[in-house]
Structure 1
Amino acid sequence: MYIETLKKELKERKYRMTPQRELVLKVFMEHDAEHLGADDVYRILFSKKHSVSKATVYRTIDLLVEFGFLRRLEFGEGIYRYELAKKDKLHHHFVCKICGKIYEIKESYLENLKNSLENQGFVFENFDLKIYGICPKCARKSKKNPLRRK
């Protein structure tokens, strides 16, 4: 689905579908549950013996963001992470301050907030809610070792 849509979008904008662009998009499709950085994508492609330069990965990701295929996220780490932009799958993120794992929050009340804003005349483009705290796994560990938590 994404590949064909990207081919169509590229053609409409006078770009061509290169093997590298397809490979980068496929990485995001195969790692849909993760929030990958450009270096992560490069490492995945390198480990699969694909010869794609790091610069090409960065340019392709920027293009995929511009075309609306990827969503750019920033979790306070000093790097951008990306995920497939699913227009019908509004979700937000919980970031564990101990292990760094990123969890997706898919609650309907967030959709209700979006609808409420639109009903008040706001033009909704996008919003990104990030909650920082401690995940259940790290919370259990910190209970076992009270010195771990500050």
Structure 2
Amino acid sequence: MCRSKGLRITGPRRIIISVISEMADYPDIVELHRRIQAVNRRISLSTVYRNLRQLVEAGMVIRHTFEHGRSRYELAGRLHHDHLVDHKTGKLIEFHSPELETLLDNLAAQHGYKVVGHRLQVYVEASTAADPQD
């Protein structure tokens, strides 16, 4: 994939992509760097920043900026999904809603448009009526 995007395959870049591809969450750059250093202690924070910028520009990694201001990262090319963001903790919950997709398609069509992509971030907080772990 790197070659097709015009990027060299370097050792640090290979490790960064590997760590990102194995993540089940959305770490900020500090946490991502900690995980990368668990694989190779010689990879500096500036190397992670530089490579992430290039991977985002190449469309291989998605950078999300949520309410708390910290950017978080995920590998591109996954099935489309949206996010619930816990307003207090910053925890991210992925969801996919065919009904929401249909609603957005219909709304765009009503105005003479076609949806070609979207990002939805819904900020939530735990309610007393429901268990936030459900």
Instruction: Please give the range of the TM-score, normalised by the shorter of the 2 chains.
Output: 0.7 to 0.9
Are residues 1:133 and 2:128 paired?
Answer: no
CA distance in 1, matches of 2:72, 2:48: 13
What's the TM-score, normalizing by structure 1? 0.73
CA contact (8 A) 1:98 1:134 kept: yes
Tell me the amino acid that sits aligned with residue 24 of structure 1: I
Work out which structure has the larger RCO, using CA pairs closer than 8 Å and 6 or more positions apart in sequence.
2
Are residues 1:18 and 2:13 paired?
Answer: no
CA distance in 2, matches of 1:99, 1:123: 31
CA distance in 1, matches of 2:128, 2:91: 10
CA distance in 1, matches of 2:98, 2:118: 15
Where do 5+ consecutive residues of structure 1 fail to align?
142-150
Aligned residues: 130
Tell me the amino acid that sits aligned with residue 98 of structure 1: K
Are residues 1:108 and 2:103 paired?
Answer: no
CA distance in 2, matches of 1:19, 1:59: 14
The aligned runs of 1:1-150 (5 Å cut-off) are 5-6=1-2, 8-10=3-5, 13=6, 15-31=7-23, 33-86=24-77, 89-113=79-103, 115-116=105-106, 117=108, 120-122=112-114, 124=116, 126-135=117-126, 140=131
Between the two proteins, what is the percent identity of the paired residues?
28
Deviating beyond 6 angstroms after TM superposition, the runs of 4 or more aligned structure 1 residues are none
CA distance in 1, matches of 2:114, 2:69: 31
User: Shift in Å at residue 138 of structure 1?
Assistant: 10
Bigger proportion of residues as helix? 1
CA RMSD of superposed structures (Å): 2.6
